[in-house]
Structure 1
Amino acid sequence: MAGRIRVGIGGWVYEPWRGSFYPVGMRQKDELAYVGAHLTATEINATYYSSQKPATFAGWARAVPDGFQFAVKASRFCTNRRVLADAGESIEKFVKQGIIELGDRLGPILWQFMPTKTFDPDDLGAFLKLLPTSVDGVALRHALEVRHESFNDPAFLALARDAGVAVVLADHDAYPAIAGHDVGFSYNRLMCSSEEEEAGYSLSEISGWTDRAREQAVLGDAYIFYISGAKIRNPAAALATIMALEQQL
């Protein structure tokens, strides 16, 4: 069965989006609902910096419609460490902070490594074994974003595949674009939006990413997030992508 393609941005609180994406005068507390009405996903960035309360996750879930999903960015205390195998306690704290309150709005968990983190097969293998397949009966899906060229290695791809973890495909000038094996879903982070392009990316580039997402969706859910780059353009890029997907139906 083909998966669903969801398209979104990084977070939803960004002052320059007020008046460029959000209507002038919109209350900040209504901005997430606006994202939910116009896009189909977003990444939660706040969880990277600190733990959140279960009630906060529940409130986020109520703000968006059925079908919308949040990708949850894992805590930096899990990934920004010299020895990944020592992250067990931090991982347990992260997954048990209340993310299950998102319910069916819970998308993949994003585990992002620093650009200086290099590939160590033994240590990474130990880390992958720490990632739980579920928490309190709720299934979890994991996506790994690596940013060092040393990960462009068949051994890394095999470890991720065997762990059932997706490898994030990054569009970035400085990070390797690594395509992983099929693990039932795909995760794309596009970070080259340009302020000179009204939609962040050219229409031909957006068409290329929608084609790729359609190929990925044959095997499972596909996620596209427009992150950083010319951040002010990212909502427009997401909207243009959604429109392109609809036109291809």
Structure 2
Amino acid sequence: MSDIRIGISGWRYGPWRKDFYPKGLRQDSELAFASRAVNSIEINGSFYSLQTPERYVSWRDETPDDFVFSVKGPRYITHVRRLKEIDEAIANFFASGPLLLGDKLGPFLWQFPPNMKFDQARFAEFFERLPRDRKSARDCARHCAERLQGNGGVAIKGNAKLRHAVEIRHESFICEEFIKLLRKHDVALVVADSAGKWPQYEDVTADFVYMRLHGDVELYSSGYTARALRHWKRRIQAWSTGGQVEDAKLILDAAPRRRKSRDVYCYFDNDQKVHAPYDARRLLEKLHLDFHLLTEPGVVPEVAL
């Protein structure tokens, strides 16, 4: 059975208050509310700055037992250093606490800037550096900066698998070499709907699929129509059963290895006009995945009071 996760990218947005979030809801209760309206959230604060172990633990503890987070990798690695001389930066990230999400930790998302071109050798080296399980992440974190040493950020046992997904925004990535590299390292190519602004391809390159829906017509702003949601529902159903839709837009014609199922993670990032949480709810309903959620928009769960 595949695990299908539909959610939102981030949860702390001013325009959502008194709309998706009920009037009077405390800001420190917004995660508790949102995590009972969708079944996954993409943490994007980690993109802008390193978070703390205490913050990851609080996020873990505020959410339901079967909840899952994805975690966005730091822009310092992807946008500032542009994958150059990043050994300590990667160690710092894993030392900062994402492993403390425990069983609620889903994939790591690595988003690259629109002006960054594909460099096969650089990306191959990056993929080889990425830890693929908790043990290798703990080993990586040992090389962190002195200020992070002993902070408890990797104080978790076990050796659960770690997953990684890559979102690209430059046309140079549209080449067979990139898809083959992703498949070699079992890294997912993000299926990114950006209202036509950036490349959107649907090559399956890992044992899971990662989607980011930034807006159907207008980037970050427009909502998804019922027809558009049916389009994505059909794709999610095909991917979750290990297959691919016949009209998939592909870079490489060669099909991925057939599987009985694939996990799917889908995040709505059209947050500017408060579409994201409602679109996520509607897609969950279309996939009949809303039966276990604990709240409806506008209804405050007891935990958030």
Mapped contact 2:268–2:276 kept (Cα < 8 A)? yes
2 CA distance for matches of 1:194 and 1:29?
Answer: 32
Identity between Structure 1 and Structure 2 (%): 37
Give how far 1:81 is off: 4.0
Mapped contact 1:169–1:187 kept (Cα < 8 A)? yes
Specify which of 239, 245, 252 is matched with residue 216 of structure 1: 239
Give how far 1:200 is off: 1.6
Structure 1, unmatched stretches of 5+, are: none
User: Considering only CA atoms, is the larger Rg found in Structure 1 or Structure 2?
Assistant: 2
Partner residue in 2 for 1:150: 172
Give how far 1:194 is off: 6.1
Give the TM-score, by structure 1 length: 0.92
Equivalent residue pairs, number? 245
Mapped contact 1:147–1:175 kept (Cα < 8 A)? yes
Structure that is richer in strand per residue: 1
Give how far 1:43 is off: 0.9
Q: Which moved more, 1:167-176 or 1:130-139?
A: 130-139
SS in 2 for 1:107: strand
2 CA distance for matches of 1:231 and 1:128?
Answer: 36
Alignment of 1:112 onto 2:111? yes
Q: Which moved more, 1:99-108 or 1:223-232?
A: 223-232
Change (3 A) 1:60 1:82: closer
2 CA distance for matches of 1:132 and 1:64?
Answer: 26
2 CA distance for matches of 1:163 and 1:142?
Answer: 9
Give how far 1:202 is off: 0.5
Mapped contact 1:193–1:233 kept (Cα < 8 A)? no
Change (3 A) 1:194 1:16: farther
Partner residue in 1 for 2:207: 184
Summarize deviations over 1:74-117 as a string: whole Å, max 9, x none. 01111114652422221121122111110111010000000101
Change (3 A) 1:248 1:157: same
Partner residue in 1 for 2:278: 236
Partner residue in 1 for 2:301: none
1 CA distance for matches of 2:51 and 2:81?
Answer: 25
Q: Which moved more, 1:239-248 or 1:125-134?
A: 239-248
Structure that is richer in helix per residue: 1
Partner residue in 1 for 2:40: 41
User: Which 4+ stretches in 1 moved above 3 angstroms?
Assistant: 228-231
1 CA distance for matches of 2:82 and 2:63?
Answer: 37
Root-mean-square deviation over aligned CA pairs: 2.0
Give the TM-score, by structure 2 length: 0.76
